[in-house]
Structure 1
Amino acid sequence: MEHRITVGLDGSPEGGAAARWAAREAVLRGAELRLFHAEESSVPVGAPAAASEVRRGWAEALLEDAAEALHHVHPELRITTQSYEGPPAASLATAAATADLLVLGSRGLGTLTGFVLGSVAMAVLHSTERPVVLVRGGEDGLPHPAGEHTRRDVVVGVDIGRPCDAVLAFAFEEAARRSCRLHVLHAWPPPVMVGYGAAYDPRVHAQINENMTADLAEVLGPWQDRFPAVDATALTSMGHAAQKLVDCGAGAGLIVVGRRIRRSSFGARIGSTTHAVIHHAVPPVAVIAHD
């Protein structure tokens, strides 16, 4: 199977940052990079056919210019382009089906506000089971030696009660490719007694944290055996999982979170922790769908 990374382009700075990130990732993976643009026709019925030609010409120029710029930085990278006229979210989800990874830009309003995730990106997350990476416009777009990402750490969130092989596999594989450290984080809520104003006993906190650390180490054991070269650090902490991930991942190169696949039309399609992380984290965020 040919490895491929697809990135959605829309002419925005965020889309450009996503393309540069995707190109570096494609070099790391030895994968093809596909630049993809989709847009519903905004030309009114009855308008001159030339208007549609202008839109198509703009899309082709966008893709060609991006491909040329990326080839200049990564001459060894195989780049293809595809323009599609249709609903962007559905088109991107279809394109993702034949890719190892889909990369999208995400508009931000600064470090305090975090992500403002557009309706297209959110719809794609809901509808594809392929890994999706969301990239902020401020992500480092400068060339890297040998096409490598900046060697910042990878951070992954884990629920000890329901550890997910797909999420851990993606995180360990990314850390191995980047030759960087992996931080595996589990956050646990405060004891019920604390919520009722009972006296806080630090010994209770220490014992809970010790138990959580042991449980997390047990979860990680098989993965560290599979990836002995990866320096994986287990972190446990009391608090809200999303906030802990955002704080821990502030200087990371990638934050990895999971999204449970919903087979039913009822219920949230993205969990509250993942939803909060993709809206407030500054580094790129990989969302891994799993059963």
Structure 2
Amino acid sequence: MGRSVIVGLDGTGNSVPAVRWGADEAAARGLPLRLLHSWVSQPLNVSIAQEAANKRRYGAEVLGAAEATALELHPGISVTTEQVSEPAVDALVERSGQATLVVLGSRGHGVIAGFLLGSVSLHVLGCAECPVVIVRQDMAASYGEREVVVGVQEAGAQGEAVLDFAFAAAATHHSRVRTVWAWEPAAVAGFVPTASATCQGEEECTAEQEKKLADILAPWRALFPGVDVIEHVQRGRVAPVLLGSCPQARLLVVGRRMRRTPMSLGPVAFAVLHHSVCPVAVVPHS
């Protein structure tokens, strides 16, 4: 199949922003766009007959409309369509191993259905081998030159894939990257970076955290010298700090561990997927 941007279509209006976002990304990266629809996973609220032939016909219409949208936005990109008879989860997870990105749409805030953290999105987010981007139906169609926001973890291999993806995305779109490092006092146990017990006072602890972040980012500054980097250090829990940092973002990037169950994305990924005002990329890492 080769590297591509895959957009999963569920046959509702939720897919339109995902198609537009995926087409933009394919054009910017010089990659083919692959539109995928499962006729056996069509939404229950679509009023069509249940016969397989009618479902396939409906799927072909969904794919045709999505292809027309993508080519209208970017006439020069390569677009292929695929209608599969296997469940959407299985098809998307299987193809993620050879894809650069998987893009899914969602219905917006507070709705647990379709591709918003419902069974399809949740399983794909938890099992895909490549980054998965969630684009809500109520998000703006264009994000211009806005920044890429990324949550930075402690130094180590687990954060490398997340930073690689964020910096590459910023370089592709000629955007700056805002690296967000949240910290709490040493007495507070949790999953966020904490200040050491040796620093005294918030000012000293903040300076310590700024030094940690600068050290972690040094290799990526060297690899992407053309990317403008904002180092954002703030006391607080990760999810609220990230969400407060992305009102002007074109993309928010977080990580999740490989080989976790689909129901265990982690509290940070879960929170930003529900509440982010911009598309969210969930990047698997070891």
TM-score after normalising by structure 1: 0.85
Percent of residue pairs identical: 38
Instruction: Tell me which residue corresponds to 2:74.
Output: 74
* Distance in 2 separating the partners of 1:213 and 1:50: 58
Displacement of 1:31 in angstroms is 0.4
Q: Which of 248, 268, 272 matches 1:251?
A: 248
State the match for 2:282 in structure 1.
287
Aligned ranges 1:200-219 → 2 under 5 Å = 204-219=201-216
* Structure 1 pair 17–98 and aligned structure 2 pair: CA distance change class (3 A): same
Give 1:250 deviation, angstroms. Answer: 2.0
The structure-2 alpha-carbon separation of the partners of 1:237 and 1:85, relative to structure 1 and needing over 3 Å to count, comes to: same
Q: Deviations over 1:26-61 (max 9, x none)?
A: 00010000010014278xxxxxx9921111000001
- Spell out the pairing of 1:23-34 with structure 2 (5 A cutoff): 23-34=23-34
Higher mean C-alpha displacement, 165-174 vs 269-278: 269-278
Cα offsets for 1:195-237 (capped at 9, x unmatched): xxxxxxx961111110000110011111101111000111111
For these two proteins, the number of residue pairs brought into alignment is: 267
Give me the whole-angstrom Cα distance separating, in 1, the residues matched to 2:86 and 2:239: 35
Does the C-alpha gap of structure 1 residues 52 and 185 become closer, same or farther in structure 2, counting only changes over 3 Å?
A: same
Contact kept in structure 2, 1:14 and 1:105, CA below 8 Å: yes
Return the offset for 1:94: 1.4
* Counterpart residue identity of residue 14, structure 1: N
Letter in 1 for 2:130: R
Conserved 8 A contact 2:122-2:263? no
Instruction: List 4+ stretches of structure 1 deviating above 4 A.
Output: none
Secondary structure of 1:13's counterpart equals: coil
Structure 1 contact 160–186 (Cα < 8 Å) conserved? no
Pair member with larger Rg: 1
Unaligned runs of 5+ in 2: 43-48, 189-198
Separation (CA, whole Å) in 1 of partners of 2:103 and 2:7 = 5
What per-residue deviation string (whole Å, max 9, x for no partner) do you get for residues 79-126 of structure 1? 00000122221121112222111000122137xxxx952221001112
> Please, which runs of 5 or more residues in structure 1 have no aligned partner?
43-48, 143-148, 194-201
Identify which of 156, 159, 164 aligns with 1:164.
Answer: 159
Specify whether residues 172 and 50 from structure 1 end up closer, same or farther in structure 2 by C-alpha distance, changes over 3 A only.
Answer: closer
1:150 to 129, 132, 144: 144
User: Which TM-score applies when normalising by structure 2?
Assistant: 0.86
* Local SS of the residue matching 2:153: coil
Distance 1:289 1:50, change over 3 A: closer
- Aligned residues of 1:157 and 1:184 also touching (Cα < 8 A): yes
1:58-207 alignment, distance < 5 Å: 58-109=58-109, 116-141=116-141, 150-162=144-156, 164-192=159-187, 204-207=201-204
Q: CA deviation at 1:261?
A: 1.1
- Please list the CA deviations of residues 159-202 of structure 1 after superposition, one character each: whole Å capped at 9, or x if unmatched: 12546111100000011011111100110123428xxxxxxxx9
C-alpha distance in 1 between matches for 2:26 and 2:104: 14
C-alpha spacing 1:71/1:91, structure 2 compared with 1 (3 Å): same
